[in-house]
């Protein structure tokens, strides 16, 4: 049976992204959420929308420009863009309305204030004037627009002020408009000293200071108005796979251009005159549909630092200390612990420190002869990378597969690659045309005259900071067949030959998609034969059409399918005769749900897999991904209980999806929060 004729076959990726941010907005709207966390959620939405415009909207506009037709089962790019414009404008308006009507007034009542210029005392104005002249003015370059000074190149997402002027400058020029760009090294939030503010937590936005004192940059001229604006640009890098001879060199040449890609969005503060809006739109070759008038700071994402600047526990989520598995409480030697059995870590409820200690001990242990690791995102100040450098300096064979095209982390990864090469590590830049997204770490150790391998595989990145914010599983094992598979995977990444058939590991772009489809179809056949059949899958996004078709077919056969998809889901659940056995929910809470877990009942065997891959075309066909089974029965039970059943039982932060792509917050008489329960069960306490 086909889907209803009046509905597109698949839900829109772009509109699903907006719907996801609506669910994040609900966290900021929830008055049970601590105030500074509500502010943080608003900043997260702003950050999400930045990337949404830089990548998704930019791609959509390019498809329209090229006259691209609709993909099978989807609406046309032009229709999608029209819906995106309408829904995004509404989301932005609601975000700023919440900020101004609830969050900022409530923070002010708690002693955290953002002072607008109209409320500055004389003492505060004098202090800010001195701050402007001392810390800001020397860094600013006002650009008066005339035939010699055309409109400047404006960096992606930079803060700028358009200034309307009257009068003549020192050379007798009569320019009506100037642009002042705020250098990125200037803090966007300025804390007033307590003796000036009269309280502990009083802030002024850089925008307000610029607007108040910008006249000092135009001596002898009259400032008629100053208007903050911000432009968002296409930030995808263009690298022609067929033309690349040196990926690192090509990337180094392309990265600086990211800041000057095609414009896709213009944000201006409310109050900007229509003629100035039109002038800016013309400069950036944008239309009214691309203009976003915001009632507040145009760079709201920069308020993300405020919760870290305010030390008031009552305004934040309660602190917690990540716990440790019992196996690691009994010994500090990671190799001994892993020899005694596989070890599962559930972040952020359990600590990421065992991963760091594993690499630290490997670097220092004279019996360790080789270390191999994939790096996708690890941060600019990674202790893990430092231990890899230390290991190489100690003479160990260190091989690091660094993904240079990890979006927005390219520069950090380039820097680490350079440092690793300088100490003699083998650095491989992945495979051209395929991003290396798998999370694998292997240590080879000489024990009793033979070599033994130890492996860590994970659903999340090797990034200590995000391990405190994202939910992920990590698995340590020295199981020989798993280690053999991971070793073959590294050979595939670094060498040129074909890997031999793997025992357990499913890999993209080779076997993952085929095996996922096969596992779904096996459940379908079992259901048709009258046997119990069930699929539970948790991921960040579900978009791949063939997987969706397989799930539809399994649903029609009677397979009970429960999908926990945090972000965008193109599958339509609950359509009679097509997907009435499929339920989709999204968990949105304190932590970013990030693990990928796949469960297939398989006649009671209960096959459980941990993966780095979402069910998206890019993960199956354009990335190198790893998916491994959890073989230890006790750990498998933990993954099912903690990673799946807890989410299915959640009735406080779980959103149920309907066939139209709308979500409804699930509520129960007895509140159950998966994240709160796991914090209570697994963390070491507050």
Is residue 543 a part of any domain in this protein? yes
Least confident of 48-52, 318-322, 409-413: 409-413
Is residue 292 a part of any domain in this protein? yes
- Give the dihedral sign, CA 47/49/50/51: positive
Calpha distance 203→429 (Å, rounded) = 44
Which pTM was predicted? 0.91
pLDDT of 1 > 50? The answer is: no
Does 540 share its domain with 675?
yes
pLDDT of 242 > 50? The answer is: no
Does 264 share its domain with 302?
yes
Question: Contact at 8 Å (CB) between 474 and 344?
Answer: yes
Calpha distance 42→91 (Å, rounded) = 11
How large is the average pLDDT for residues 658-671?
92
Is residue 124 a part of any domain in this protein? yes
Please report, rounded to a whole number, the percentage of residues in the chain having pLDDT higher than 90.
75
How large is the average pLDDT for residues 84-90?
97
pLDDT range class, residue 329, cuts 50, 70, 90: confident
CA neighbor of 607 nearest in space, from 636, 585, 580, 635: 636
Calpha distance 44→50 (Å, rounded) = 10
Is residue 676 a part of any domain in this protein? yes
Number of compact structural domains in the chain: 3
Instruction: Report whether the peptide linkage leading into residue 509 is cis, meaning its omega lies within 30 degrees of zero.
Output: yes
DSSP E strands, 117-207:
143-144, 160-166, 177-181, 189-191, 201-205
Which of 437, 456, 513, 595 is flagged as catalytic? Answer: 437
Calpha distance 524→528 (Å, rounded) = 6
pLDDT range class, residue 270, cuts 50, 70, 90: very high
Does 364 share its domain with 337?
yes
Q: Which two tokens stand for residue 76?
A: 């046309």
pLDDT of 355 > 60? The answer is: yes
Question: Contact at 8 Å (CB) between 48 and 21?
Answer: yes
Calpha distance 345→355 (Å, rounded) = 9
Is residue 1 a part of any domain in this protein? no
Least confident of 104-118, 275-289, 427-441, 596-610: 427-441
pLDDT on residue 564? 98
Is residue 649 a part of any domain in this protein? yes
DSSP E strands, 330-478:
343-347, 368-375, 397-402, 426-428, 435-436, 440-447, 450-458, 470-477
Does 597 share its domain with 562?
yes
End-of-domain residue from the set 502, 535, 550: 502
Strand partners, 599: 536, 608
Calpha distance 218→168 (Å, rounded) = 10
- Scored b (16 or more CB within 10 A) or e, 271-300 reads ebeeebbebbbebbebeeebbbbbebbbbb
Domain that holds residue 364: 326-502
pLDDT of 5 > 70? The answer is: no
The CATH number covering residue 41 comes to 3.30.1840.10
Instruction: Report whether the peptide linkage leading into residue 348 is cis, meaning its omega lies within 30 degrees of zero.
Output: yes
Strand partners, 476: 343, 456
Specify the DSSP class assigned to residue 431: B
Does 492 share its domain with 567?
no
Q: Which two tokens stand for residue 169?
A: 């400058």
Helix (H) or strand (E) holding 308: helix 306-309
Question: Contact at 8 Å (CB) between 361 and 332?
Answer: no
Specify the DSSP class assigned to residue 317: P
pLDDT of 246 > 50? The answer is: no
Does 351 share its domain with 226?
no
Active site residue 437: yes
pLDDT on residue 428? 86
Does 224 share its domain with 250?
yes
Strand partners, 584: 563
Does 164 share its domain with 135?
yes
pLDDT range class, residue 180, cuts 50, 70, 90: very high
pLDDT on residue 144? 85
- For 346, phi then psi, to 5°, come to -115, 100
Is residue 5 a part of any domain in this protein? no
Does 456 share its domain with 338?
yes
pLDDT range class, residue 8, cuts 50, 70, 90: low
Calpha distance 409→512 (Å, rounded) = 26
- Tell the residue number behind the tokens 């690298």, with chain if given: 239
pLDDT of 252 > 50? The answer is: no
pLDDT of 214 > 60? The answer is: yes
Question: Contact at 8 Å (CB) between 210 and 226?
Answer: yes
Q: What is the pLDDT of residues 618-650, one digit of tens each?
A: 999 999 999 999 999 999 999 999 999 999 999
Does 529 share its domain with 475?
no
pLDDT range class, residue 237, cuts 50, 70, 90: very low
pLDDT on residue 430? 73
pLDDT on residue 45? 96
pLDDT range class, residue 170, cuts 50, 70, 90: low
Q: What is the pLDDT of residues 450-506, one digit of tens each?
A: 999 999 999 999 989 999 999 999 999 999 999 999 999 999 888 866 767 899 999
The CATH number covering residue 659 comes to 3.30.870.10
How large is the average pLDDT for residues 33-52?
96
Dihedral of CA atoms 379, 381, 383, 389 in degrees, nearest 10, equals: 100
Calpha distance 296→440 (Å, rounded) = 44
CB 166: neighbour CB atoms within 10 A?
11
Calpha distance 170→269 (Å, rounded) = 30
Calpha distance 48→348 (Å, rounded) = 21
Least confident of 117-131, 309-323, 371-385: 371-385
End-of-domain residue from the set 502, 528, 543: 502
Does 224 share its domain with 288?
yes
Question: Contact at 8 Å (CB) between 7 and 572?
Answer: yes
Residue 626 in 3-state DSSP?
strand
Is residue 2 a part of any domain in this protein? no
Does 479 share its domain with 612?
no
pLDDT of 260 > 90? The answer is: no
Calpha distance 421→428 (Å, rounded) = 10
Question: What are 490-494's contacts with CB under 8 Å, separation 24+?
Answer: 490/372, 490/399, 490/401, 490/440, 490/442, 493/374, 493/401, 493/428, 493/430, 493/431, 493/436, 493/624, 494/399, 494/401, 494/426, 494/428
pLDDT on residue 408? 52
pLDDT of 239 > 80? The answer is: no
CA distances from 652 to 368, 483, 564 (A): 47, 40, 15
DSSP E strands, 4-159:
112-114, 143-144
End-of-domain residue from the set 315, 347, 380: 315
pLDDT of 380 > 80? The answer is: no
Calpha distance 323→329 (Å, rounded) = 10
**Helices 77-98 and 35-51 meet at what angle, rounded to 10?**
160
**Helices 206-213 and 122-131 meet at what angle, rounded to 10?**
90
């Amino acid at each position: 049976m086909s889907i209803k004729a009046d509905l597109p076959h698949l839900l829109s990726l772009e509109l699903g992204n907006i719907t996801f941010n609506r669910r994040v907005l609900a966290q900021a709207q929830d008055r049970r959420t601590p105030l500074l966390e509500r502010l943080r959620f608003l900043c997260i939405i702003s950050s999400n929308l930045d990337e949404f415009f830089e990548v998704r909207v930019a791609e959509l506009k390019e498809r329209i420009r090229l006259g691209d037709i609709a993909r099978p089962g989807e609406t046309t790019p032009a229709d999608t863009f029209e819906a995106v414009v309408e829904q995004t404008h509404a989301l932005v308006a609601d975000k700023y309305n919440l900020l101004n009507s609830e969050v900022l007034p409530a923070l002010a009542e708690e002693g955290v204030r953002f002072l607008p210029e109209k409320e500055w005392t004389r003492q505060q104005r004098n202090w800010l004037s001195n701050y402007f002249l001392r810390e800001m003015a020397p860094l600013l370059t006002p650009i008066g627009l005339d035939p010699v000074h055309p409109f400047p190149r404006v960096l992606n997402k930079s803060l700028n002020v358009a200034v309307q002027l009257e009068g003549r400058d020192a050379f007798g020029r009569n320019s009506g408009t100037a642009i002042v760009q705020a250098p990125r090294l200037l803090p966007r939030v300025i804390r007033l000293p307590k003796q000036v503010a009269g309280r502990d937590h009083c802030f002024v936005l850089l925008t307000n200071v610029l607007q108040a004192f910008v006249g000092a940059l135009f001596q002898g001229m009259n400032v008629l108005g100053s208007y903050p604006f911000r432009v968002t640009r296409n930030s995808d890098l263009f690298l022609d796979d067929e033309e690349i001879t040196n990926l690192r060199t090509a990337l180094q040449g392309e990265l600086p251009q990211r800041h000057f890609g095609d414009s896709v969005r213009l944000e201006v503060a409310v109050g900007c005159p229509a003629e100035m809006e039109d002038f800016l739109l013309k400069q950036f070759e944008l239309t009214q549909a691309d203009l976003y008038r915001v009632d507040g700071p145009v760079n709201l994402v920069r308020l993300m630092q405020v919760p870290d600047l305010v030390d008031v526990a009552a305004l934040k989520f309660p602190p917690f200390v990540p716990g440790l598995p019992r196996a690691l409480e009994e010994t500090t030697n990671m190799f001994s612990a892993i020899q005694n059995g596989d070890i599962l870590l559930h972040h952020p409820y359990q600590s990421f420190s065992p991963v760091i200690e594993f690499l630290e001990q490997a670097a220092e242990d004279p019996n360790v002869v080789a270390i191999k690791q994939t790096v996708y995102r690890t941060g600019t100040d990674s202790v893990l990378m430092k231990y890899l450098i230390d290991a190489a300096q100690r003479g160990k064979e260190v091989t690091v597969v660094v993904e240079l095209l990890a979006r927005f982390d390219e520069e950090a990864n380039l820097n680490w690659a350079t440092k690793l090469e300088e100490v003699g590590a083998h650095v491989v830049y992945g495979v051209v045309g395929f991003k290396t997204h798998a999370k694998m770490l292997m240590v080879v150790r000489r024990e009793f005259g033979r070599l033994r391998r130890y492996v860590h595989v994970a659903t999340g990145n090797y990034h200590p900071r995000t391990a405190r914010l994202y939910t992920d599983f990590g698995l340590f094992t020295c199981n020989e067949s798993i280690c053999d598979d991971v070793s073959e995977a590294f050979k595939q990444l670094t060498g040129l030959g074909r890997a031999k058939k793997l025992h357990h590991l499913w890999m993209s772009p080779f076997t993952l998609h085929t095996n996922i489809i096969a596992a779904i179809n096996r459940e379908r056949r079992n259901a048709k034969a009258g046997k119990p059949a069930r699929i539970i899958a948790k991921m960040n996004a579900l978009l791949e059409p063939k997987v969706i078709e397989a799930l539809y077919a399994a649903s029609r056969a009677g397979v009970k399918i429960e999908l926990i998809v945090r972000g965008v889901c193109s599958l339509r659940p609950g359509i009679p005769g097509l997907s009435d056995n499929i339920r989709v929910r999204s968990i949105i809470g304190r932590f970013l749900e990030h693990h990928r877990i796949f469960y297939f009942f398989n006649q009671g065997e209960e096959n459980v897999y941990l993966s780095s891959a979402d069910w998206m075309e890019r993960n199956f066909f354009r990335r190198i991904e790893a998916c491994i089974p959890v073989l230890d029965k006790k750990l498998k039970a933990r993954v099912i209980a903690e990673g799946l059943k807890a989410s299915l039982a959640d009735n406080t932060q779980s959103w149920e999806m309907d066939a139209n792509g709308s979500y409804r917050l699930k509520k129960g008489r007895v509140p159950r929060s998966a994240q709160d329960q796991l914090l209570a069960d697994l963390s070491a306490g507050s």
